[in-house]
Each structure stands twice: as C-alpha cells, then as structure tokens.
Chain A
Amino acid sequence: MKRLIIFAFFKSFSLSEPPNELFDQANKLYIQESYIESIKLYENILENNKGNSKIYYNLGNAYFRINKVGLAIWSYKNALRLNPRNKDISYNLTIAENYKVDRVTMPYTSFLLEKYRQVRMYLTADEWKLFGSLLFFALALNSLFRKMAILKNRFSSNISQVLIIFIISVHILILDKYSQEKKSYDEAIFIKKTNALSGPLSDNHQILFEVNEGSLAEILRVNDDWVYIILLDGNTGWVKSETIRFIK
C-alpha cells in the first residue's frame, strides 16, 4: 500500500518538463504570421509530449489561418477534450465549424439528453473522478461522525442517503465518460475532401458519396490503409486513412 502511494507520487512528479521554450517560439512564429512553421513546431511538441489544451488550441488557430478547416476542427476538439470549460476554444470551434462545406444535420436529441451531455462535458474525466472521490470521502466522514455520534440525527442520515444517490449517479457518469473517451479514439475528422467508396480498393469500387473536410466520422473497421467510416447522418463508406485524422 505504502509503496503504491509512493509510486503514485513519484509518477505524478516525474512528468517531463513542459516545453515552454518551443511553445513560445511557435507562438512567436504565429504572431509573425508564419503559420506553417508554427504548425510544424506545435506538431513537434505534441509528438514528443502529452497533450495540453493550449498547444492544441494554438495549433487549431494556425491551421485555421491557412484554411485547413478540417485540421483546425481536429485540434479544437482535442483542446476541448482537455479543457472543456474554456470559452475561447468552444468559440473558435464554432467558427471553424461554420467554415465547413458539409452541414450534416445532427440527429434530434431530447432536452434531457442534451442537458446530460452538457453536464458530462462540463468536467474532464479526471475532474469527474476527483469529484466522485470527494463525494465518497464525504460519505465516509459522515458515517464516521455518525458512528462517533458527533452527528446523529435525522438530518445526517438524510445526508448519507442523498450522498449515496449522488455517488452512484456520479460514478455511472464517470463510467459513461470513460467509455465515451475510449470511443472517441475511434473518432476522426476529415482533413481533406475525399470520396467514400463501396470497398477498400480504388479501382473496382463505386464512389458512394463525397465528404468535405471538417466532417466528423466514426471508425468502424480498419483494413491496411483503408478505413470503414460512418458519418453522423448514417452514411458508411471506405476512405483512405490518410484523409482522416484520429481524435486522440
């Protein structure tokens, strides 16, 4: 047990140093309007390090400036996953989405589901985990106090009931959030205009539909350098894997 704790602490502090020098350099390049160079730097940072929402956000801006709407949307989505309450990211994402050619109408969702999604979106998975653990801690304290009879009235027993309900629902939400994040590894954004075919070969398959950059697709299957995708409106087809970029 002790070892585990030590290990956990050790791990939490042994994270690599933030690459602020490179980041500053890339930001300077962005300000000087040499967007392509700044993109190279940002991508380089992301290649060697774990993501940070600021890097993804700035990368998205740079892509947007050179009219790569698909890649910009990809970056903003990644940024928003790491920092869901940032207003700048969501604002830029809506602007970039506005430049998309395809306007796939989202399937209708009920009001409650919409609210639930907003709540789920409000915290990151780890923040939700922390929240859940704090609730659990509160329950533990409450039960300790009750045992020690510091609190022993109807109010405290109500609290523990409410807490249990909260804990169960929050943990269900955490599970859902994790499964959604797991799933989002199979999500991708189109980074260029491409034709979706009926099979994974360009010669003898028919073109089913055309997808413009920026569209979100779910990956169903991967076959060498071809992937089978499904769009939000339910259309499925095979595209070359180089035309899409997976959301991390």
Chain B
Amino acid sequence: MVRNIIFIFSFLGILLSQNISISVDKNTIDEGDVIQLSIEASGSSSFAKVDLSLLEQSFEILGGPYEKSSMQFINGRMNQTKTLTWTISPKKTGLIAIPGLKGIIDGKPFVGKTFNIMVNKTGESNSEQSVFILAELDKDSAYLGEQITLTYKLYKDINTNISGIEQFQMPDFNGFWVEEIFTPQRLQYQKQNVIFKGIEYQVANLGQRALFPISSEKHIIPSVKLKTQIEIKRKKNSRDPFFDPFFDSFFNKTQTKYLKSNEKFITIIPFPDPRPDNFFGAVGSFKIHSEIDQEEVVINEGFTFKISLKGTGNLGLFTLPEIKFPNGLDAFPPNDSFKKDAFRNEITGSQELEYVLVPRKEGNFKIPSVQISYFNLKTKTWSQIGTNQYTISVKGDINQVVELSGLSKKEIELIGKDIRFINTEKIISLNPGYNLSIYAYLIYLLSGILFIIPITLARFTNYRLFTADDRKMKNALKISLKILENNNRYPFENASKAIYTYMHNRFLLKNKNLDPVSVNEMLQNSIDKILLSELIDLLKICDAGKYGPNASVKEDIIISKAKNILISLNKSLK
C-alpha cells in the first residue's frame, strides 16, 4: 500500500515536473521590429512539436526554430530544459494577438496561452521612416517580352547609420525571364543624395534586373527582404560633459530591423492584331544579317551559312526559325551562339546560327530567305526583317577525293546516289514463308516414315522388302565378273578368286574356306555333271597355277573360260 502511494507520488512528480512556458521578449514594438517567441519545456526529454499555422496568419516567421537545451542540478536532481525560439515579425500594426499555440511534447498535447502585442505605427504616420527599401520600375505596364528594368534601392536617412546588412537573396520572379544587370558586391551609396518626400536620403543600389514578362497568369514583382543593423542615436538632453556628442558613437545602440519592399503589379498590354505568322516572340528592335562563305562549291564540299540577329530586346527568349533547305543540301544541326553586351541597362546582344551545308547533288540551290517579324517597341507596330536569298551553284567533281568527317569510305561512295525504284511486280503470295514451313513439316514427316517403315514391316509382317543377303545373292555374278575383268596380271589366282567369291556370295557362306572338293560336294545335286566337271577342272588348273602343265597356253584362255563357266553356272542355279 505504502509502496503504491510512493509510486503514485513519484509518477505525479514526473508529471508536474514537465512544465511548458511560452513567452515573448517584449509586448510593445515598433513596426518592422521583431519579437522573440520562445517555448520552454522543462523536464522533457525532447523538443516540443508546435503547430504554427495559427501564428502565421498575423506574423511572419523570419527565423527559427532555434533549439537550445540546458541541464541543471538542483539538490541532486537533474532538471533538463529544452527551449525553442522563433524570430517573428508582425504583418499588421495595432493590437495583435499571438494565439494559443497547440503542440505535442513527449506524446502529450498542450495549449499555450494567448499574448497581446502592441505594434506601433511608424513610417508614414511618423514620417520618420529612416530606412526603407523601394522597388523601382521603369514602367508599370509592358508588352509580353518587353524589358522592364527593376531596381531595388535602399533609402537611408542621412542621420541614420547602417552598421551592416545581411546577405540577402533576390526573390524568384515568377512570370518573368530575368537577366541580371547589376549586383552589388557591397553596400555602396550613390554620390548624390536624393530628396524623397521632402527628406534627404542616401540611396544604395541593392541590385538591378531586366525582367521580360512571359505569358503567365500574374505578373507580380515580389518583395525583397533584408535584415539590417541600424545604429540608433541616443537623444541626450543633458549637457553632461561625459555624454558629450563626441562620445556618442561609443554608446550607440544597434537595433536589428527587417526591411521589406512592397509588392508591385505589372499590367500586360496585349499586342495589336493582326499578329504576323512569322512572329516568334521577338520584342524590341532587331537587325538580321546573313552570310555565306562561298557561292560556288564542289559537290560534297561543305560551306557555311550564317544568320545573325542583333539588337535590343528579349534575345534569348525566342529562337530563330528552322530553315527548310532544299533537297540535296544536307544541313548539319547549327551552332547556336548568344552574346550579351554587358554594361547596358537594356539587354542588347546578338544571336547567331551557323549551319554547315553539304551539297549532295549538282545544280543550283536556292537558300531561302529567312523572314521574321518582331514587335517594335519604339513605333508600337509590327516590323519585318529578312535575310537575303542566295543561289549556290554546285559543280560535280566526283573524282576529287572528299574527306568528310564521320563518313567512312563506303558511305562517301553512296553520297549522291539515289534509292532504287519500287518493285511493281504482282504479289504472288502474302507470306511466302508460310507454305515453305508446311512443306518442311511434311518432309520431316516423310523422313520419319522412311525411318520407321523397314522396322515395322519386318516386325509385323515378317517380310523383308529386300535383304542384304538377297542383294548379295543377286549380285554374286556381277561382282565376280568384275573381279575377272579387273585384274589380268595373275589370271589363275584371279579366276579362282572370282569363282570362290561367287560361291561365297551365292550361297551366303561366311568365312568358309573353299576348295575344289567342297565345291564339288556343294554343287553335286544342283547342276548337271558336265558343267560341274568343267568347273572343278578349272579350279584345279587355277590351283596349279602357272606351275601346272601348259600353263602359258592356259593363261590366255583361263579368264574367258572362267567367265563362261560362271555365266552358265549362274543360269543353271536359278
């Protein structure tokens, strides 16, 4: 029980220790001054997350949040403080409320209290606005593409000293194409002072821009914001010798002040109708000039064609039109160069297009004239300018070796050649490959059948279309006669070989050695005796060979005899 109570108390302690306080550094300020708004959370482990959208309705957040955390030990207990600080500036004058800020800290929501801030009017009412910024425009209304020169100027009372200005950024000019004319390196006042509303001011140029309106919904010159340090002179009435004006500068106080110029609006004047067709957006005053480096060229020899547009206006906001060169004249993509003349308040410069043209055919080529229209701001009318038209004569000189970069020899051969004529023959079939593939499949099928047929026939019908043995038996005579014809050097051996081969083939005898006796046994019953005896005699003569009686006489006739015997043997065996 006691333990529980202690636990609850310690928990309460944690709860209570987490403390949020929201504060501002001052309640009454002058217009243009800033307020420090801080949210301090003690006893929390993280920074608060605050929703500032309510605050932004009436204040502008100039800086922050700046985070600061501190740690304290009191009586051995650690106390952590996390502070968030914003620099804010009121948007209006009068009594303004800082609304109750909502936020989350350590997962728990909190709501702050409301403050009232009194903002005193200065400036016009006090007629003593000592420092301010003006956005000066040379005109309030312009045509699209007409130059507007914008200068941001810092005005300063001669009695006020500015001890420093912070780096500032030029705002984004939406709806304009911006060219920089002048950007100061440091704050420098003009030599001559300017009287503005009866007061003498020193003026410093903060930057000058040439703005060219482009088509957009709104054309607003945004305000520029600048943080300055201003020295404030103390007004001392006492004639204290110590606070003599001589010492003033030692005791001057500096004050941070945010300066802001007013937004300005530009009215766009529409162009007078009718708008010319060849108007590409050029506004100002321009001159166009074209140049060609040679008028007579050899085929495949490059020459340059230059167009330059010079003048004052929105150069860079438009491009020169693409030129349609005649067929047979190859144009390489042009070199585009843009030059701007510095040190002028009006943007002046030149735009140059340089084409390299290569004639691919003989003959005369016309380079058309380039016509463009622009809106002349001096006369407020449309003006048209154009280049000259050129005629170039191209001579054919194919023999001359032409070196063109990027082309291989083969390609040069092709230059100037035309494609071949169309094929006007009738279309026989729309997809010639289709039939072919069907034939291919049929042939595959047929081949497959050819593979299978002999095997299946043998298996299922036991019938052999032809067998190798049949063929052997049939061809037995042929082979033996061939043997007889082939070799006449050893007639005896040859004749016996022919007969034995015949026997081998005719009776399908494999690896069996034959002699006259075995032949006699084999043929005893199948042929008549006269033929058999002739055959046996012949074989015997052959066995004896040239060592036998009357060998030389028999040698001559043995081959023909063997042939005759074989033929008649074959006949009688059928």
Q: Which residues of A contact B (CB under 8 A)?
A: 1, 5, 8-9, 11-12, 15-16, 18-20, 23-24, 27, 30-31, 49-52, 54-55, 57-58, 61-62, 64, 67, 82-83, 88, 91-92, 94-96, 98, 101, 103, 124-127, 129-130, 132-134, 136-137, 139-141, 143-144, 147-150, 152
Contacts and interface: CB of A to CB of B under 8 A. Distances in A.
B427 A23 contact: yes
Given A18-B429, A124-B433, A94 B422 contact: no
B468 A149 contact: yes
B443 A15 contact: no
Contacts of B450: 137, 140-141, 143-144
B417 A52 contact: no
B419 A92 contact: yes
Interface stretch (B172-180, B226-234, B434-442): B434-442
A189 B436 CA distance: 29
B437 A149 contact: no
A227 B461 CA distance: 64
Interface string B443-463: 111111011011000000000
B16 interface: no
Given A15-B431, A23-B427, A129 B436 contact: yes
Nearest to B422: A58
For the complex of A and B, the 5 pairs showing the least CB-CB separation, nearest first, are A126-B433, A140-B447, A149-B468, A133-B443, A140-B450
Looking at chain A's contact residues, the main secondary structure is: helix
B442 A5 contact: yes
Chain B contact patch, size range: 35 or more
B424 interface: yes
B426 interface: yes
Contacts of A130: 436-437, 439-440, 443
Contact of A94 (B414, B437, B440, B471): B414
Contacts of A9: 438
A24 B433 CA distance: 23
Instruction: Give the interface SS of chain B, mostly helix, strand, loop or mixed.
Output: helix
A8 B442 contact: yes
B419 A133 contact: no
A144 B454 contact: yes
Nearest to B423: A54
A129 B443 CA distance: 10
Nearest to B449: A140
A149 B454 CA distance: 12
Contacts of B465: 148
Contacts of B327: 67
A15 B467 contact: no
B417 A95 contact: yes
A49 B454 CA distance: 45
A5 B414 CA distance: 50
B430 A50 contact: yes
A101 B425 CA distance: 33
